[in-house]
Structure 1
Amino acid sequence: MGSLPRLSSAHEVPAPWRIPGGTTRHDASGVVMSFNQVADETGTKAAQARRAGAQPGNALDVAARSFRFLITGPSPLAVDGRKLGHGLPPRQIDLGELLSLLLDRTATDALKDAAWVELIARARTGDPAWVIGCVGVAMPGLKNIAARLIRSSPTRFADDIVSELLTEFVAQLARIDTTRPNISARLMLWARKGALRALGWEARHLPRDPWELSSAPHVNKDTDPVLLLLDAVRREIITPAAASLIIATRLDAASVRDIAREQGISSDRLYRQRREAESRLVAAIRNGTLFASSPC
């Protein structure tokens, strides 16, 4: 496989950007995404980062530092607000500002999808800086997923959870269907699925709630609940947001009240959303329209 394109001086990536066991992923269009190759592209910026006092950490820590490096200075990674529209300022918007705008409670789903369509298109050019840009914009969600999984897992799995989470997220930048809505939420679902590889098959099935998908008709006892939820999203039985809510509160033991507080909505509303989504899942399983097939 050919190496990644040489970065321009404005977008060189600081070291270290290396994930233990990182894998190379690409699709037929030639999108190449390799954490270790990105590290090999740093050149003289590696020494600069070391002199700046960059400290080692897990893969998300390294990604966060790399993202900060890429959004500072005279030529930060930026998107054109005029092109994206949806109420964005009609000027160049660096990815740090874009992240803040997307996290704002007034940000619409349409704005979020438009931003991710643009970010993924840039990443698919093969420029590692934009791959890291995507990781940086997704960082709040990735950190939340990692924190929940690490909190409920043996300490020895922590670094592997983060590495697999990030590896799967980057792999999906080449694969995710950007013509469908809720791009960010679907990326998060896949990232979590990747993180579970670090825990092994048994860890995916630890019961955390009496509601057991695997006891329903048409579902094999070895069915992975996350795969089932991904399939339900693909079939538009439930939304990615509903799947994320079920995963967080049913599988990761997160509090509905805490999530409601973070999102600035009532916990009653989230409980209702979860209950309705679970009812749709059960109905789909019982009538045979939902199986644990491989979602896209």
Structure 2
Amino acid sequence: MDLRTPVPVTAPAVSWRGETLLNDIECRFRLMGQGPSPLSVDGGSLGLGLPRRAIALPELSAILMHPSCSYVARDAVWRLLVQRARTGDSAWRASAVGVALPGLRFKAYLLAKLFTGDVQAAIVEHFLRALGTVDVARPGVVGNLLSAAFSKARAELRDLEPASAGVPNHAPGTVSPPAPYGHPDLVLARAVTAGVITVQEAELIGVTYLEEVSLTAYAERTGQPRWNLYKRRTAAVARLRAAIESGALSDPYADAVNEATSTVALDAPTARKRP
């Protein structure tokens, strides 16, 4: 698809049980993209293959999700969104949440596999906080935002969880799947649901492969030994690829994850020190 062609953004979201915060945010976000003067960015000024015109934010969100949109273009857009959110304008802060909704839905889905608290409120709150602290000079701006929000929300929910032991304890049927935005992250969500990989392994694979964060950086961020993470990721990727190739995770976007975990070079394992 040519990014200069307007992207349809009117497809309805899959319904979750009852009203949810993220559905409400999505509804308001779509309304912001309507009318004669919707909130937009100037694609002509940004360049990098984006349409050379004003791009309403709901359409922009769809463009950023498309495989033909480069990482450089995504980072340029997200630097702009973060800068505008940091002006304190509530419309731009809300818009940043709206553009990030596909990723926020996935992170909320993972959290809901572990905790019974209000995972959607937690992930949105910490995403908004991360807008003020994320280093926009680092590549992978939106990935860094989502990872920071996920880590902070997980810590907060763990502290609030009664008798939390890190084991999923939600009642059967209470966790709805994320809306089908067609992102490779959702294949990881399918794998978690199917028991192929754990929530922690999905986060590890998603951050270090799909968000292009190095294993060393992830180890430093989480305080875990790099060699242990390397072994865990290698084993999890092997199970994930086998499940994809067997058809157990049948999905048009499974190939994207399979390609990423097959062709992205693994960080060279650190030599183990002899005792």
Q: How high is the TM-score relative to the length of structure 2?
A: 0.59
- Report the Cα distance in structure 2 between the residues aligned to 1:254 and 1:167, rounded to whole angstroms: 34
CA change 1:83–1:268 in 2 (3 A) is closer
CA change 1:193–1:204 in 2 (3 A) is farther
Of residues 90, 114, 117 in structure 2, which corresponds to 1:153? 114
1:1-296 equivalences under 5 Å are: 57-150=19-112, 152-153=113-114, 156-157=116-117, 160-196=118-154, 197-200=156-159, 202-204=164-166, 229=218, 231=220, 257=244, 258=249, 261-262=252-253, 264-265=255-256, 267=258, 269-270=260-261, 273=264, 276-277=266-267, 280=269, 283=270
Long gaps (5+) in structure 2: 1-17, 169-196, 202-214
CA change 1:143–1:71 in 2 (3 A) is same
- Report the Cα distance in structure 2 between the residues aligned to 1:259 and 1:84, rounded to whole angstroms: 37
1:264: how far off? Answer: 4.2
SS where residue 79 of structure 1 aligns?
Answer: strand
Contact kept in structure 1, 2:29 and 2:95, CA below 8 Å: yes
Aligned residues: 198
Contact kept in structure 2, 1:176 and 1:187, CA below 8 Å: yes
Task: Extract structure 1 runs of 4+ deviating beyond 6 A.
Answer: 253-256
Q: How high is the TM-score relative to the length of structure 1?
A: 0.56
Deviations 1:163-217 (A, max 9, x none): 11111111010111111111011111112112212133855588x77x99xxxxx
Deviations 1:253-295 (A, max 9, x none): 999735985364262641565x925x64xx29x67xxxxxxxx
Q: Which amino acid aligns with 1:276?
A: L
SS where residue 178 of structure 1 aligns?
Answer: coil
- Larger of the two Rg values belongs to structure: 1
- What fraction of aligned residue pairs are identical, expressed as a percent? 29
Instruction: Tell me what 2:174 maps to.
Output: none
CA change 1:71–1:269 in 2 (3 A) is closer
- Report the Cα distance in structure 2 between the residues aligned to 1:100 and 1:203, rounded to whole angstroms: 38
- Report the Cα distance in structure 2 between the residues aligned to 1:179 and 1:135, rounded to whole angstroms: 20
SS where residue 73 of structure 1 aligns?
Answer: coil
